[in-house]
Structure 1
Amino acid sequence: MSQLDAQLAAFADPAANSTLRGILRGLEKESLRVTPEGKLAQTEHPKALGSAMTHPHITTDYSEALLEFITQPHERIADALSELDQVQRYTYAQLNDELLWPGSMPCVLAGDNAIPVARYGTSNSGRMKTVYRLGLGHRYGRAMQTIAGVHYNFSMPDSFWQALSEIEGNTRTLQAFKTDKYFALIRNFRRYFWLLLYLFGAAPAVCRSFVRGRDHKLQALGQDENTLHLPYATSLRMGDLGYQSAAQQSLVVCYNNIDNYLQTLCGAITQSHPDYQSIGLRDEGGEYRQLNTSLLQIENEFYSSIRPKRTAKSGETALQALRLGGVEYVEVRCVDLNPYQPLGVSSEQLHYLDAFLLFCLLTDSPETDAAEYQDMQENQKRVVDAGRNPALTLRNRGDERLMRDWADSLQSEIGACARLLDTACGGEHYQQSHRAQGRKLAGETATPAEQMLKQMQAENKTYYALIMELAREHQRHYAERPLEDDDYQRFAAQARESLSRQQEIEAADAISFEAHLAAYYAQYRDCESCGCEPQSAISVQSGC
């Protein structure tokens, strides 16, 4: 009996099965603000939306025009989607004539100077957030700061971990057990998330303006010189057009255990890198260009398809929070916006993600070595560029395996997890979602990427025209569904409170920005605080 079969049998027991009802999931959804003509908005973050620095549900990501909506964790998928819907209904009411761009790849761009960097006020923490984004612009170009996606935060309840701990005869603390198991989930996710790119990838094309001045292998879409694509692409956002750099290609982040993970990222944050030394820390006027000259300014600069996370205290680094408390949840970061969905994501998709993540958690997850690490990188690249090619093969322990055959094999095991979740939660939402993805793999229904390309070709539309049309549809959708007055007033009060909170933070600063940065980075450099000897990030380790 495989480990997955044994775990499935154990969690078929009613008492153990009931723990699956306590899964928590939250959403973070990004969308660009654009003008009625589909150009990137140059306006400041709308004051009616509150402070991007302190609002609990509405903030900005890299660009001032890139809104980010955040939900609380929920036990029911329907509740998470309902909260996201309410946040967007309030937001649309404040946008005047602006729209939200529903595609992951951006609208027509006029160059870096026309991409405003997000601003967070005059406090030390606010300045740090802005300087970090300025640094990203210098390192990668500001066009990267206009890519949008959906992040899915997922955690299992302590009752589940207690049940699994007893099943496996664990003798360590529950938190240590949880942390190791979350890292096992992450390793399997990285092995298999190419399947999610195939099923849900929705970025097969871009506007030519996005790659202006850059080398690329994209092709014009028919006679349309303004739209570039790859015929079998799934999610160009997750390939070398996204947050990738030649410098980061040498960074091998190890997920075999939390100590290795902390060591690798600490090394990347504390050790200066020649490419970024040449940019300089400050400009001629003394203004910061970037937070540091290391390979990473902070850990978030390392773009990963999934991250181990723990809620950090004010002023605490994400790595410090992990070191002190262990993993609390995982953040899935490979989900494109589905432009056909006003929310950018659907209930069906989230149900499948739950089943996929449970499969990654329950199935055997051996440690990754350097060869498999390279295979995973190669598989991601292949599925991004040509995932819908029926003849595509992927690397599997040094061998080539037909992607469709491998996907069918995984589908069978994910289906067993879907049945387990339906038993716990009632109904057949998980199995229905699983069957829907099976129809995509069988070629019976189109993936989002395929749907987009077929529509552009059939209707002779550019990428810009298709996404702009959908943006207007979503605008009408929300105009017809205004918030109830009580809900509207609740969001308006949150906006006012967030502005007041930002003012309080700014007034409370008692040290210089330089001292603030020094205290922040001391958490990485002081080994007593950091808990690890920073390890060179510029090496491929034998066990990663």
Structure 2
Amino acid sequence: MTDFTQRLARLAQNPEALKGIGRGLEREALRITPTGHLAQTPHPDALGSALTHRWITTDFAESLLEFITPVNTSVNGMLDELQDIHRFTYKQMGDEQLWPMSMPCVVASEDDITLAQYGSSNIGRMKTLYRQGLKHRYGSVMQVISGVHFNISLPETFWQHLYHTESVTQAQVTQGYFDLIRNYYRHGWMIPYLFGASPALCGTFIKHAQTRLPFEYLPSGTCYLPYATSLRLSDLGYTNNAQAELRIGFNTLEQYLEGLRSAIRTPSHEFAKLGIRDGDSYRQLNTNVLQIENELYAPIRPKRNAKSGEKPTEALDRAGVEYIEVRSLDVNPYSPVGIEQDQIHFLDLFVSWCALSPSDPMTDAELNCWRENWNKIVIEGRKPGLLLTTGCDGHQRTQAEWGLHVMAELKQLAAVMDRAVGDNRYETVCDKMMACFDNPELTLSGRLLADIIAQGGIGNVGLGLASAHKTALSGDDYRIHSDAEFLQEAAASLARQKDVEASDTLSFEAFLKDYFKDVPMAESW
């Protein structure tokens, strides 16, 4: 197999092939009151329809906003888009603020969390019912954990150089993305190590979670683990114990689709106890391990933009992988928009390296090995001398040794990528990240935990940052859009929602039966 050095040398002959990386961001954020409690108000009317708005929607709850940028080949352009979306949203929120962290703020009761509402259309009702199922399966508090999703597609010229051909097929691109995904599982623990930002929790969260983790407590009630990086990605976060038994492989598209479709069709004895209906009301979409594809927990996903009415698996099956979605990023509390430029540059570099590096097929045993490494990192990733397993042969290295080994190759790739963009942004971010392996306290989680301890708790830090972020963005001018454009999109989204509702021809029950016609649970309707 061609090794990384050979592939990089070939790419270095034409660094222009790295131009044209497509990127998009999805940032989740809870609306909170000035005292740090979960907002009880509905989705602001001025933000339009959460069902059909292009840039502003909701995730699990009415109070959990999700901001979506269009695809952009410019990092600065993408961040400007995201900042503008935040600016407009802040103007519509009154005295409410956005909680700047992944783990939720004060949640006194599950009853404080209202499921996201999407109108009276069949698809809108199904989206809320799916969330009803998540509530019954895992609890609402676990569902208001926030993250940042980074979508990235590598240009066709990159794949041409990788495969050493002037004409690349979609099948080759799709396989290249799956090779990338396997390498991300192998080495992606570096992302929560560097950018994890949830080493501590509000004490009210622990009341809703079952855990045996040896937390330490501050007088304010904040609990933390001294070396944790991303408790959001731990068993405390959104995980599904039933999914631990799933065998979803990433060697080929066919293997991935077969595993995912099996999970959607596999009955769960645990979820069957909940039932589908309670009198006239619904409790969940079905009683399978996954209600729909989106319920699968994964740090990275292959994606394809779906046509109207098309399921994610159907889109992938139709036309292969279009881009990948990195889902292992915590919200960066120090950034008003939840992510910083350096993080994006590092992700550009890391994802490209995952694609360039050789990637052998992966067994279930190897995948479990990588998952164990991830678990160690999120719970105690900054612990000096922490040992990770580098393969099924049982060989181990410290996180610092392994990280610096990968960083050495990333530095080589950074030089080529800098030639493509005409500056030194990638080598600069490499130097910053290498320092984090020499000193774990320079990581995002290290910095944040130090501030939390110094300021007496997560609430003090979170409220201070929330106020500062709102002030910073509310006072800035728009970079790309305008109030008029956002108001126009809000009005247009409401009109689109009405059109969707008016176009329904089936009852909700008939709609669900048709949607799940290929799923064994369908006859239970």
TM-score (normalised: structure 1): 0.92
Match of 1:431 among 423, 427, 432: 427
Matched, 1:310 2:308: no
Q: Return the offset for 1:159.
A: 2.7
Instruction: Check conservation: 1:33, 1:101, Cα contact below 8 A.
Output: yes
- State the distance in 1 between where 2:520 and 2:429 align: 46
- State the distance in 1 between where 2:283 and 2:496 align: 27
Q: Return the offset for 1:217.
A: 3.2
Name the aligned partner's letter for residue 442 of structure 2.
A
- State the distance in 1 between where 2:309 and 2:39 align: 31
Percent of pairs with identical residues: 43
1:252-282: CA deviation from partner (whole Å, max 9, x where unpaired): 2110111111111111111221111110111
Instruction: Check conservation: 2:29, 2:146, Cα contact below 8 A.
Output: yes
Change (3 A) 1:470 1:221: farther
Give the match for residue 473 of structure 1.
468
Instruction: Check conservation: 2:31, 2:96, Cα contact below 8 A.
Output: yes
**Unpaired runs of 5+ in structure 2?**
none
Give the match for residue 217 of structure 1.
212
Instruction: Check conservation: 2:81, 2:479, Cα contact below 8 A.
Output: no
SS of 1:226 mapped into structure 2: coil
SS of 1:331 mapped into structure 2: strand
Give the match for residue 10 of structure 1.
10
Instruction: Check conservation: 1:355, 1:415, Cα contact below 8 A.
Output: no
RMSD: 1.8
Match of 1:326 among 295, 300, 320: 320
Change (3 A) 1:462 1:218: farther
Give the match for residue 348 of structure 2.
354
1:437-467: CA deviation from partner (whole Å, max 9, x where unpaired): 11111118611111111112223x2111111
SS of 2:19 mapped into structure 1: helix
Q: Residues 381-420 of structure 1 correspond to what in structure 2 (within 5 A)?
A: 381-397=375-391, 398-420=394-416
Q: Residues 216-295 of structure 1 correspond to what in structure 2 (within 5 A)?
A: 216-219=211-214, 221-224=216-219, 226-284=221-279, 286-295=280-289
Match of 1:36 among 34, 37, 41: 34
Change (3 A) 1:389 1:470: same
- State the distance in 2 between where 1:333 and 1:485 align: 26
Matched, 1:122 2:120: yes
Q: Return the offset for 1:423.
A: 1.1
1:349-396: CA deviation from partner (whole Å, max 9, x where unpaired): 100001000110000101111221111111011000000001100112
- State the distance in 2 between where 1:337 and 1:275 align: 32
Match of 1:510 among 496, 505, 509: 505
Name the aligned partner's letter for residue 3 of structure 1.
D
Change (3 A) 1:471 1:311: same
Name the aligned partner's letter for residue 5 of structure 2.
D
Q: Return the offset for 1:80.
A: 0.6
Instruction: Check conservation: 1:90, 1:488, Cα contact below 8 A.
Output: yes
- State the distance in 2 between where 1:358 and 1:108 align: 39
Q: Return the offset for 1:224.
A: 2.1
Give the match for residue 449 of structure 2.
453
Name the aligned partner's letter for residue 7 of structure 2.
Q
Q: Return the offset for 1:477.
A: 0.7
- State the distance in 2 between where 1:521 and 1:417 align: 46
SS of 1:420 mapped into structure 2: helix
Matched, 1:442 2:438: yes
Q: Return the offset for 1:522.
A: 3.4
Change (3 A) 1:220 1:190: closer
Give the match for residue 293 of structure 2.
299
1:138-194: CA deviation from partner (whole Å, max 9, x where unpaired): 000000121001100000122322333335x98xx6100001000000000011111
Give the match for residue 201 of structure 1.
196
- State the distance in 1 between where 2:482 and 2:519 align: 42
**Unpaired runs of 5+ in structure 1?**
527-544
Name the aligned partner's letter for residue 449 of structure 2.
L
Instruction: Check conservation: 1:218, 1:229, Cα contact below 8 A.
Output: no
1:441-500: CA deviation from partner (whole Å, max 9, x where unpaired): 1118611111111112223x2111111111011111122214489711001100000001
Give the match for residue 533 of structure 1.
none
Change (3 A) 1:160 1:484: closer
Instruction: Check conservation: 2:382, 2:441, Cα contact below 8 A.
Output: no
1:490-530: CA deviation from partner (whole Å, max 9, x where unpaired): 0110000000100110011001122222222236679xxxx
Runs of 4+ in 1 over 6 A off after TM superposition: none
- State the distance in 1 between where 2:210 and 2:161 align: 52
Change (3 A) 1:427 1:443: same
Instruction: Check conservation: 1:220, 1:227, Cα contact below 8 A.
Output: no
Give the match for residue 109 of structure 1.
107
Instruction: Check conservation: 1:198, 1:387, Cα contact below 8 A.
Output: yes
1:261-311: CA deviation from partner (whole Å, max 9, x where unpaired): 111111111122111111011112x21111111000111101100000000
- State the distance in 2 between where 1:519 and 1:417 align: 49
Give the match for residue 85 of structure 2.
87
Instruction: Check conservation: 1:144, 1:243, Cα contact below 8 A.
Output: yes
Change (3 A) 1:287 1:121: same
Give the match for residue 534 of structure 1.
none
TM-score (normalised: structure 2): 0.96
Instruction: Check conservation: 1:219, 1:228, Cα contact below 8 A.
Output: no
Change (3 A) 1:22 1:476: same
1:293-340: CA deviation from partner (whole Å, max 9, x where unpaired): 100011110110000000011111100000011000000000011101
Instruction: Check conservation: 1:317, 1:523, Cα contact below 8 A.
Output: no
Instruction: Check conservation: 2:240, 2:297, Cα contact below 8 A.
Output: no
Matched, 1:337 2:335: no
Give the match for residue 65 of structure 2.
67
Give the match for residue 157 of structure 1.
155
Give the match for residue 187 of structure 2.
192
Higher alpha-carbon deviation: 510-519 or 346-355: 510-519
Q: Return the offset for 1:225.
A: 5.5
SS of 1:11 mapped into structure 2: helix
1:9-40: CA deviation from partner (whole Å, max 9, x where unpaired): 111112xx212111101000010000111110
Give the match for residue 375 of structure 1.
369
Q: Return the offset for 1:133.
A: 0.5
Matched, 1:498 2:498: no
- State the distance in 2 between where 1:445 and 1:79 align: 31
1:113-140: CA deviation from partner (whole Å, max 9, x where unpaired): 1111111111011011110011000000
Instruction: Check conservation: 1:33, 1:40, Cα contact below 8 A.
Output: yes
SS of 2:12 mapped into structure 1: coil
- State the distance in 2 between where 1:157 and 1:53 align: 31
- State the distance in 2 between where 1:332 and 1:294 align: 26
Instruction: Check conservation: 1:137, 1:145, Cα contact below 8 A.
Output: yes
